[in-house]
Amino acid sequence: MSDVEPGSVVELVRRTVRALPEHTAIVTPAGPVTYGELGSRAGAVAARLRALGVGAGRRVGVLASPSAEGVVGLLGVAMAGAAYVPLCPSLPSARLRALAEDSGASLVLHAEAAAGQAALGVTALPITDGDAAGQDAPVEIDPESPVSVIYTSGSSGTPKGVIVPHRALANRVLWGQSVYPLAPHDRVLQHTRYIYDFSAWEVFATLSFGATLVAPELANYPDFNELAEAMERHAVTTAHFVPSVLSGVINREAFARCAKLSLVFSGGETLTKDLARRFRARSAATLFNQYGPTETCVDSTFHRYEPGDGDAEGAVPIGTAIDRTRLHVLDERLEPVPDGTEGELFVAGAGLATGYLGRPGLTAERFLPDPYGAPGTRMYRTGDLVVRDGRGRLEFRGRADLQVNLRGVRVELEEVESVLALDDDVERAVAVVTDDGSPSLVAMVFPADGAVVETAKVREAARRRLPAAFVPDQVLLGDRPPLLPTGKVDRAAVRALILETRRAGRGRRGEGTGPGEGVEPFVVGLWKEYLELEEFGTDESFFELGGHSLLAVEMVSAVGEHLGSEVSLAEFFEEPTVATMVRLATSAVRDVRDAREESRA
């Protein structure tokens, strides 16, 4: 256990800047950034913000992908004493504007590459300003003041901002250092988008203890081949993946050559024992399974996986509590349940968020007085169902509500449904996560009386309003929604309808793909393998055929690895058909051939 009381990570980073000014803080495609340079750049951002009156109690949007520029922005806001609000350039513009407005951000700092997306209704400034001058004048930071406001999915259709205090982040960083310490020789992969809370550990833990952040600024995130090659190229020692991405990365040839990899974290969704075994067969790195909602700051539990740990099948336990954290497994009356009995998980301790920004009612509903702690302490109602085994470890069993974790992203199904139902022709929408193969987010929409619904149009409208992870992989058309005696939608019956429709789709016959020429047979073979279909048209959508975004990523990665050249994931997503993939693959083959001819000349 760490014997240091949680305070602020800002002082830990400042200490490293003073101690290791010439050591590399960040590795980027543009070159290395030393700790001295990082301190100077972030200090200039902090000075600019304070000159504009931004300090404690204020919030600043940071619009950037994982990069040196993004790190400078986050650290500069924290140094100024304000809270950063992460904004991802990949989000739809309407979503970005809504987050900027709801957060009450004083201004938005943006990376150079995101300048075109920075018109969000508040003052926008570049993170890097060559004309800016100023020096970081350290301000005293109250451990209870916010370090960030991170938005998560909301059941009402409106995202909710989680206020994370410095105390919570410092507790998580200090605990991690006591269990798996980082040192200056370590290289930590920084690929998690800032809108997801594990990015805070990647950035602030690394910089607090003198390790080096590797920010490869991937073109096709999360291209598994790109990730594995970046890890090999930069000799990464430490990395975090959600299980669905981990599964794809370990199958890439470059992963087998990551000789320096020593520590891997998994979290965000269920880690199966089968995947853990496959990981250990390909790597000698230590594997930790960790759990924690944003409201408890990154992680509340941890478990070190060991081969032969328990039954051969099922899920890896989410484990036991981190420092200064209490875990209660309670029934509906908030009474403890015996070991081996399923109950809802409540988390208390130093990692708790302050609450939800501007949502006092929801804060009171989810953050309750802790009847098992000291007077005045609180506990967070996670909504997760768990069982504590005979060794004190928690096993995740599911949700008590309509929230799901899909490919590491927390999604409120009701938010997805409310956006789909905005279409005038849709009377009702129901979203489910299917388990017929790899998990997919699938929705069924039911038309209003006399209306004709175009499912492709409904999905496209959702894509313009929702983050990519919230957009259904497939939208199916139903007739009339099955109802319970109470008048509510029978979700179990809708799930059955969806599964039946998908099974019928797998037996369908399209116009056929034919033998094809060039790379087409290889592409068609991949589609058959990944979609488990025998025939389909070359102009049919990958998603309408039952595919999902992460499956598309894995397939595009496989094409790129096979051809030895990068294939644009973004272009494939614009028109996800066999014809598009053949065109992109043919272009990639041509690029490889031209490069070889130039090298011979």
Q: What is the CATH number of the domain that holds 144?
A: 3.40.50.12780
Q: Do 454 and 587 fall into the same domain?
A: no
Taking residues 105-116, report their average pLDDT. 95
Check if the beta carbon of residue 200 is closer than 8 Å to that of residue 12: no
Count: domains in the chain:
3
Q: Do 447 and 532 fall into the same domain?
A: no
83 occurs within a structural domain = yes
Q: Do 118 and 42 fall into the same domain?
A: yes
Q: Do 474 and 541 fall into the same domain?
A: no
Q: Do 446 and 531 fall into the same domain?
A: no
Q: What CATH number has the domain bearing residue 527?
A: 1.10.1200.10
H or E element: which one contains 47?
helix 35-51
Q: 550: helix, coil or strand?
A: helix
Domain boundary among 506, 530, 548: 506
Residue 491's φ and ψ, nearest 5 degrees, are: -65, -35
Among residues 200, 183, 187, 163, the alpha carbon closest in space to that of 66 is found at 200
pLDDT tens digits, one per residue of 288-316: 999 999 999 999 999 999 987 766 678 99
pLDDT value for 515 = 41
Q: 101: helix, coil or strand?
A: helix
Check if the beta carbon of residue 170 is closer than 8 Å to that of residue 8: yes
Distance between CA 278 and CA 329 in Å, rounded? 31
pLDDT value for 512 = 41
Q: Do 4 and 126 fall into the same domain?
A: yes
Distance between CA 431 and CA 182 in Å, rounded? 42
Q: Is the pLDDT of residue 513 over 60?
A: no
H or E element: which one contains 355?
strand 355-356
Q: Which residues of 365-401 are buried (b: 16+ CB within 10 A; e: fewer)?
A: ebbeebeeeeeeebbbbbbbbbbbeeeebbbbeeebe
**DSSP helix, strand, coil percent of the chain (3-state; round to 5):** 35, 20, 40
Q: Do 549 and 491 fall into the same domain?
A: no
Distance between CA 473 and CA 549 in Å, rounded? 7
Among residues 519, 557, 460, the alpha carbon closest in space to that of 220 is found at 557
pLDDT value for 589 = 72
421 occurs within a structural domain = yes
pLDDT tens digits, one per residue of 49-104: 999 999 999 999 999 999 999 999 999 999 999 999 999 998 999 999 999 999 99
| Cα–Cα distance list, 553 to 127, 248, 296, 482, 557 (Å) | 30, 9, 30, 34, 6
Q: What CATH number has the domain bearing residue 452?
A: 3.30.300.30
pLDDT value for 601 = 57
Q: In which domain, by residue range, is 470 found?
A: 403-506
296 occurs within a structural domain = no
Q: Is the pLDDT of residue 20 over 90?
A: yes
Q: Do 589 and 460 fall into the same domain?
A: no
145 occurs within a structural domain = yes
Q: Do 159 and 11 fall into the same domain?
A: yes
| Cα–Cα distance list, 210 to 22, 182, 218 (Å) | 11, 8, 24
Two tokens at 250? 């370990």
Higher-pLDDT residue of 22 and 457 is: 22
Q: Do 500 and 525 fall into the same domain?
A: no
Least confident of 14-18, 138-142, 376-380, 399-403: 399-403
Strand partners, 476: 444
Among residues 417, 414, 479, the alpha carbon closest in space to that of 446 is found at 479
pLDDT value for 510 = 42
Q: Do 546 and 437 fall into the same domain?
A: no
Q: Would strands 83-87 and 59-63 be described as parallel, antiparallel, or unpaired?
A: parallel
Crossing angle between the packed helical segments 9-19 and 35-51, to the nearest 10 degrees: 130
- Give 408's contacts (C-beta < 8 A, 6+ positions apart): 196, 242, 243, 244, 245, 267, 268, 269
Among residues 168, 172, 183, 325, the alpha carbon closest in space to that of 263 is found at 183
Taking residues 175-197, report their average pLDDT. 96
Higher-pLDDT residue of 575 and 356 is: 356
141 occurs within a structural domain = yes
Residue 539's identity, in one-letter code, is D
- What mean pLDDT is reported for the chain? 88
Where does residue 31 rank: exposed (0-12), middle (13-18), buried (19+ CB within 10 A)?
exposed
Taking residues 254-268, report their average pLDDT. 96
Q: Do 530 and 438 fall into the same domain?
A: no
Q: Is the pLDDT of residue 594 over 80?
A: no
Distance between CA 356 and CA 72 in Å, rounded? 26
Two tokens at 558? 């496989």
pLDDT value for 433 = 87
Which pTM was predicted? 0.80
349 occurs within a structural domain = no
Among residues 66, 271, 298, 57, the alpha carbon closest in space to that of 175 is found at 298
Check if the beta carbon of residue 214 is closer than 8 Å to that of residue 239: no
pLDDT tens digits, one per residue of 117-154: 999 999 999 998 765 555 667 888 999 999 999 999 87
Q: Is the pLDDT of residue 509 over 60?
A: no
Among residues 434, 446, 442, 466, the alpha carbon closest in space to that of 544 is found at 442
Domain boundary among 447, 471, 506: 506
Under the banding of pLDDT at 50, 70 and 90, the label for residue 23 is: very high
586 occurs within a structural domain = yes
184 occurs within a structural domain = no
Domain boundary among 115, 149, 179: 179
Taking residues 383-396, report their average pLDDT. 94
Find the angle CA(599)-CA(600)-CA(601) to the nearest 5 degrees: 95
